[in-house]
Structure 1
Amino acid sequence: MNDRYSRQQLFEPIGEEGQRKLADQHVVIIGAGALGTGNAEILVRAGVGHVTIADRDYVEWSNLQRQQLFSEEDAKYRMPKAVAARERLELINSDVRIEGQVMDVGPEELRELTEFADLIIDATDNFDTRLIINDIAQQRGIPWIYGACVGSYGLSYVILPEETPCLSCLLEKVPMGGATCDTAGIIAPAVGMVVAHQTAEALKLLTGNKAALKRKLVSFDMWNNQYISMDVQKLKKADCPSCGEQPVYPYLQPDQQTKTAVLCGRNTVQIRPTLTEERNLEALSSALMKLDGKVEQNPYLLSYSKGEHRLVFFKDGRVLVHGTKDIAQAKNLYYSLIG
């Protein structure tokens, strides 16, 4: 018995056979923030043979409170999260093949990342990327595990192609707003709880214990002592464009992607969400007023300024991110406020 995994192999549902299965698996983790680093560390320590982590961002001081693989040195030198995570994980388990991909994940990138994947874990901060993950997973028949947390609240759900409702079934549309860690804060125990649910389900799938899957959407609020386990199987739709009888995978189509463009002659990036919907500027203003930046509003738009950047939100969903020509940076700023 390999002593490294001896306690895990003593757990009867995994055993030596399950450990051998783990060593043959490839897990792709999209996002290297709080959920991504938590998932990655547990799966690498468990002996998953190949772990790929993709993220477009770099480490900041505000990450250290909950993103467990990073150090003060990483924040000081603004190390790309995927690189810092890979380097730390290689020190934890040298037997695991670990890839850290610094990239903004879209359909083409996700196709490449998941070509030989056995499982995708969602550790993102926005529904645009989640819906791309959902369509790729449905198209390729790859299970994926949804996870999200903010404040003291979190949720998780395992999506199995052809068996369970997909994310498109559960969502009527891409949310245009909502609380984020930057606007509502977050406590580390909420992260840990979501990670525990995601990785427990991941280990069941990867070791062939599919019958043990929870198959319910888990939702909880750790501060208010609430825990809900919801059966959502009836929400599976035969006419769903992503997982129905005649799928078209809409979020892999070019016209369904969030549009970004650097404005000519200006240090500005425009972000245009996939769906045009009237944004509630009053609700957004209330959320942003709690932050350090400056909020200004007129009947047509809302402006939020902090440091060298200013984001201007229009009612139709468009956002101008002033102070940068870097699309990845503009997206980070946008999703940190909008989610």
Structure 2
Amino acid sequence: MKEFDRYHKQMLFKPIGEHGQALLGEKHVLIIGCGALGSSIAEMLTRAGIGKLTLIDRDYVEISNLQRQHLFTEADVQKKLPKVIAAQSALNSINAEVTIEAHVMDGNANTLPNLVNNVDLIMDATDNFDTRFLINDIAQKHSIPWIFGACVASSGLSFTIIPEKTPCLDCLIKVAPMFGATCDAVGVISPAVQMVVAHQVTEALKILVGAEGNLRSTLVIFDLWHNQYQMIDVSKAKAKDCKSCGTDASYPALTYKNSTKTEILCGRDTVQIRGKKFELTMLAKQLERFGEVNQNPFLVSVQTKAHRIVFFQDGRTFIHGTNSIKEAKKIYYQMVG
């Protein structure tokens, strides 16, 4: 081990050492969500020398992200780059030894099961419990550990879920305190994000180097502004009759909303429609009569007087400026027929 090696300081930490560093370089982590939590998790794991990261996110970079999402820049906002594409570029510039796979798509019951082959760990960086319940069922079905994390305002929480050993999310949510508000409603400060990430990535490193005996068995929950920090024992929450992790598990989330074509994005004043795929250059020309059009290789957006509409390459559309599915559909069909 040479002092100028990239991972020298990390290998000096005895619980990791040279053997643990070699193990990290062989591991594959799936990060679901590439916003505040996901981008910071991805950066830490990339700097730590993970072998491969797979990133999935459905959104693009906006100016309001820059306050807490450290990988992104004003240039990414101007280009309206999808978050995973901007993250992939930034991460490649940090550590070219790491393989970064990026997917601009919605994480749902159709797409996520296709991404878990050869994955050693799943990191939750989502902003809604529908997706978390889906992660939970996929992880239980395929026996993949995953690390739950959430933050809002100055508070955060995290729990490490090991199939067959710990309570799953469905067990946990029945007995533990969870946040009712969202960061879109009450805001969030960057230190709360980084505290959750610190807990998540530390647990991830333990799993990836084979130090499961050091995993935290409690739910951690904190409020930085009010100087509160709790470790809650939830070991008795595991239920034998749980539909996700019990003896007769049926994994209900794997079919939940599987056929849903529209949804209101949490706190965003935005409706997502999953429709047909368009050839983006032809679509951009078609949209010019409705307002100012911007295009990149991943999406086309049009700004009207009242709404911003974003068409993604995978067939999804964001209608910004409404929480009405009926109104969103009307706008969508006016533009594309």
The interval holding the TM-score normalised by the smaller chain is: 0.7 to 0.9
SS of aligned partner of 2:111 = helix
Q: Which residue of 2 aligns with 1:43?
A: 45
Matches within 5 A, 1:153-168: 153-168=155-170
Does the 8 A contact of 1:269 with 1:320 survive in 2? no
One-letter code aligned to 1:56? R
Offset at 1:90? 0.2
What residue number does 1:285 align with?
Answer: none
Percent identity reads: 54
Cα offsets for 1:105-140 (capped at 9, x unmatched): 112311111111000000001001000000000000
Is the 8 Å Cα contact of residues 156 and 192 (structure 2) preserved in structure 1?
A: yes
Normalising by structure 2, we get a TM-score of 0.78
The equivalent position to 2:134 in structure 1, one of 103, 113, 132, is: 132
Aligned to 1:192: 194
Question: Could you tell me which amino acid in structure 1 is paired with residue 65 of structure 2?
Answer: N
| 2:271/2:322 contact within 8 Å kept | no
TM-score by length of 1: 0.78
Residue 9 of structure 1: aligned partner: 11
Deviation, structure 1 residue 257? 4.0
The alpha-carbon distance between structure 1 residues 307 and 156, as it changes in their structure 2 partners (threshold 3 A), is: farther
Instruction: Specify the alignment match of 1:239 in structure 2.
Output: 241
Change (3 A) 1:127 1:325: farther
Task: Give the C-alpha shift of residue 320 in structure 1.
Answer: 4.5
2:253 pairs, out of 245, 251, 254, with 251
Structure 2 segments unaligned to the other structure (5+ residues): 264-269, 274-304, 308-320
Distance apart, 1:310 and its partner CA: 2.1
- List alignment gaps of at least 5 residues for structure 1: 263-267, 272-305, 313-318, 327-339
Q: Deviations over 1:190-231 (max 9, x none)?
A: 000000000000000000010010111100000000001001
Question: Which residue is 1:23 aligned to?
Answer: 25
Query: Is the 8 Å Cα contact of residues 156 and 223 (structure 2) preserved in structure 1?
Result: yes
- Give matches, 1:205-216, under 5 Å: 205-216=207-218
Stretch deviating more after TM superposition (108-117 or 144-153): 108-117
Aligned pair count? 279
Counterpart of 1:85?
Answer: 87
Match of 1:170 in 2: 172
**Is residue 59 of structure 1 aligned with residue 71 of structure 2?**
no
Instruction: Report 1:272-283 matches (<5 A).
Output: none
Q: Distance in 1 between matches of 2:75 and 2:118?
A: 34
Mark the CA change 1:258 to 1:33 in structure 2 (over 3 Å): closer, same or farther. Answer: farther
CA distance in 2, matches of 1:6, 1:112: 36
CA distance, structure 1, for counterparts of residue 43 and residue 191 of structure 2: 16
Aligned to 1:33: 35
State the secondary structure of the residue aligned to 2:188: coil
1:76 aligned partner, one-letter code: Q
Q: For the structure 1 residues 16 and 239, does the alpha-carbon distance in structure 2 shift closer, same or farther, using more than 3 Å as the test?
A: same
